[in-house]
Amino acid sequence: RGTAQTLLNWILAVNAEILSSTLFLFRADFLCPVWRTRIRKVWISYLKVHKSI
């Protein structure tokens, strides 16, 4: 029971971390168009690689 609670707490912590990181990225996205194009290029190349596999 204690293990399940610890696991749940860990999952919630990780989710909170991911959410805050995502929000930060969105904020950075609005602040800096250069990053937006850079991220888009990386994302497009990532998709291309996965399509070719």
Please name the amino acid found at residue 11: I
In this structure, are residues 27 and 20 in contact, taking their beta carbons and an 8 Å threshold?
no
In this structure, are residues 28 and 35 in contact, taking their beta carbons and an 8 Å threshold?
yes
What is the residue range of 9's domain?
A: 2-52
Domains in the chain: how many in total?
A: 1
Residue 29 is predicted with a pLDDT of: 63
Cα–Cα distance between 51 and 53 in angstroms, integer?
A: 5
In this structure, are residues 39 and 29 in contact, taking their beta carbons and an 8 Å threshold?
yes
Cα–Cα distance between 5 and 15 in angstroms, integer?
A: 15
Cα–Cα distance between 26 and 45 in angstroms, integer?
A: 20
1-50 pLDDT per residue, tens: 688 889 999 989 988 888 888 777 777 666 667 766 887 888 888 888 87
